Structure 1
Amino acid sequence: MKKSLVLAMAMALGVTASAYAANPFSDVPAGHWAYDSVNKLAAAGIVDGYGNGTFGGDRLMTRYEMAQIVAKAMAKGANVDRLAAEFADELDSLGVRVAALEKKSDNVKITGQIRAHYADYSGDADGYASKIRSRIFINGQINENWTYTGMLQNEQNLANDSGDEKTDFQRAFVTGKVGAVTVTGGRYQLFWADGDTYDNRFDGIQLAAGKDVKFVAGYGKAANASAAVAGVNDGSAAGTTYYGKVSGKIGALEAEAGYLKFEDVTKFDEEDDSIWHVGAKYNFNKDVSLGAVYMRSDVDGTVTYTNGAQDSVDKDGYVVTLNIGGAKASKPGSAGFVAKYYDQGAGTYTKHTMNGLYPEYGFKGYSLAGYYTVAKNMVAGVEYFDLKDKIDDSKAKTLWTQMIFTF
C-alpha cells in the first residue's frame, strides 16, 4: 500500500489544522501536488514521517502503519467509521497504543466556573455582600490508576471601594486505587452530613471502599474559614480532625451514619467537638426526593453575653430537605427547587454549607431556593433564609441571588 493512497484516505477523514506548520519533511518540496495535504496532516498530528526527516510518500506501508494513522485520527475525533471497519483487526491489536493516544490527548483538562452573587441581610444583622468568585479546575491523569485535581480560586469583593481580592489554591489533591481502596490525599473538599455539619477544605488523607455498602474514613486538619460578614460563624477548627462513615442504598432509599471529631475548636474556646449523625433520603422518582439528617454533639458549651448572662448550647439537631427537579447547566430551561427546615444546636455544625447568614450558637428556621438554566452553562439562582437564634431569639434573614457560568 503506497503512502499516496494513505494520503487520499486520510484526507477523506475531514481532519483539518488551524494553521499549517512549516514543511516538516525534506522529501516533500513546496511544489509537490500533495504539499498542502501532507502539511495539514502533519500539523494535525496524524502523520509523523520517519526519523530521518522524510515522509516516504512512494514507499509501500504495512497495514499496521495504516492502522496507526487511523488510530491517531480517531483520537483527534475524526469520523473514521469505514476505515475503522476495514482495519478492525489491526486496530484491535493496537488497542493499547490507541488508548494511550486518547489518554495523552486528554491528559490535562482545564475547566472553570464564575459565580456572581448579591446577598441582602436583614433582621438583627442588616447589611449586604456582593462578590465575583472565579474558579479554575485542573484535572491531570498521572497514570492509569491515579489522577491529580487542583482548584485555583479568586474572589473580588464588590461591596467596598478598596478593590481587595485574593487568589489561592483551594484544592490540590491526588486520587488513586490501592487494591480495592480508593485513596485521596492533599487538600480536598469535605462535605459532611449533607453539608449541614461541614462543607469546606480539608488537609488530610481519605480512604474509601465498597460498592453497595460504602465505607469512608479520613484523618487530617479542617481548614480555617474566615467570616465574610460580621456575625457569621467562622468555622475555625485548628486541631486534628478525623471522621468515618458507612452508607448504602436499598431500592429508592439511601442511608448513612457517620462520626466526625474536631479537636481544639476555636468556636468553643479550644473545646473538642464530636458529632454523630444518621441520615436517610427517599427518592420518589428521578426528580423528587425527601431526606432528613439527625446530628448529636458532645459539646458542653456555655455562651456568655456582653451583659454577663450565660446559657448552654444545644447538643443535637436535625435538618429536613425536599428536592424537586434540578437545574442542569447543560440543559437550558431545566429548573430545580429546594426547601429545608433547620433545628440545629451549636455543636452540630462547624462550617455550614448554606449561603445564608446563620447564628453561631444554634438556630432554627427554613430556607427556600430555586434555580433555572437560562442558557447553556448559565444557571441563575435565588435563595431565601429565615433563621432564629435558639438562645436569644435574634433573627437572621438572607436573600441571596446568584448567576453561575461554567466553561
Structure 2
Amino acid sequence: MKRTPKPHGEQHGLGTLAIVIGLFLVMGLISTFAARTLMLEQRMAGHHYRGALADEMVEAGIDWAVALLNAGAIDSQCKPALQGQRFVDRYLTVSAANRRTEPKAPAGQWVVDCTRTAAGLECRCPAPGSRTPAAAAAAGADYTPSFALALGVDQPNPHLGSWIIESWGCTEAAADACQASAQTRSESALAVSRQRAAVGFVAAVPTPPNVPLTVRGHLTLKAGASLALQNTDPAGSGQLVLSGQSSPALDDSRLATRPGMTVAQGKRFSDGAVSALTVDRLFHGHMGWLPQRYRQHPALREVACPVTDCAAALHAAEAAGSRMLWVDGPLRWTGGGVLGTSAAPLVLVVAGDAHLTGPLQFNGLLVVLGDVHWSNLGPAPAQLNGMLLALGDMHLEGAAQLQWNGPIADALRNQVGSYVRVSGGWQDLETQ
C-alpha cells in the first residue's frame, strides 16, 4: 500500500522549532551578559563620579581656605562681617619677627567644614578646637558633598612664611562620615579625597622704609608749621627724613635720632638717587610691585571714598578686617580719628593726592603717589606712627609728628600681606 507523503512544512517544523529555541537561548545568554556588563559599567561610572566629586570638593576646600585667608572679618558661618575677627587671626598665630605660622588648634585637627547645597556653601567657622561633628543631611536624590580643613599640619613648621593646608573632600553632607573605615565607606558608597597644599605669604611691604618720612619731591613747611621726626628705635637706621630736593628750615629741637647719631646725620636732602627715580620705581623699591600690579594683591581692598571726607569709609574698612587699603585719589581725611594700631598696622596707598586735616592718628605705612597736603592747626597733635612715603611733594601747615616704629615695620613685612598657593606645592594623599 502506497503511503501519502507529508506536506513539506510538516517535515521540517520540528527542526525549525529547535533552531528558534536555540537562538532564544543564545539571545538570553547574550542579554544576561550584556546586563551584567551594563551593571558593572554603571557601578564603575558611579564610583568614578563619586571620586571626581570628592576630588572637586577637596580642591574647592583649599581654594576656599586661601580666599578666606585673604578676606576680612567673618562670623561663625564664615560669612563676611562688618566687624570682627579675620579668618587668619582666628585660626593661626603668625610671628611678626620671622613669619613663623602655627595653628591655634592641635596640629592636624579639623577646624572648619563646609557643605555644598543648592543655595551654595554652608560653612562653620567655630573657635579653634571647638568644632563638633557635622550633622548628617536627610537622604535625597542628589549628592550633598562637603569638605573639612586642617591648617598647619606639619608642625613644628620649618618653613617660615610657608605652611600646609590639608583638605578632605567627601560625598556625604557631614565630612566626618568620611573618616570611617574603608569598609564602612564602601558599604555606604562614600567617596573621600585628601590633599595637602603649600601656602605661601606675600608681604604687603617687603622693604619698609627705614625713615619716618620719605619725600621724592619738595618738603615745604608753611609759616609757623612744626614738624617732629623721631627714629630712636634701636632696630631703626636713625635716619629722620629722606628727600630728593633741598631742605626746608626744620626745628632741630623736635628731631630725635638714636644714640650715636647726630640730628644732622639723620637728615638727607637733595638726594640725587631719590630724585632720579620715577614714581613707579620708588614705589616698586619698597612695595615689591609696580602700583598697578600692587593693587591686585589678593588681600588688598579698594575703598570708594566720598569727595568730601574718606574717614568713615576708611574706618569701616578697618573694622571689617582689611589691613591693606587702596584709594583712588584725591583722598580727603578730615576731623581726625585713629586708623590702625601698633599691634595691627595698616598699609594705605593713595593713587593721587592726599589732603589730611585735623588731629588724625595713623599707625602703619601711608603711601601717596601724588602730593601730600597736611594741615593741623588745632591744639591736639597729629601723629603718624610708622612711615610716610610721599612720591610727590609734601606741604605741611600746623603741627605733625612722625615716629618710625620697629614693631610696625616687622608687622608690615611679616604679618600684613596676602596668601597664595605655592606652585607645585600639593600632594594627593588618598582618593577612595
TM-score class, shorter: under 0.3
TM-score, structure 1 normalization: 0.22
TM-score, structure 2 normalization: 0.21
Give the number of the structure whose residues are more often strand, by fraction.
Answer: 1
Greater relative CO (CA pairs within 8 A, separation 6+): 2
Greater Cα radius of gyration, structure 1 or 2: 2
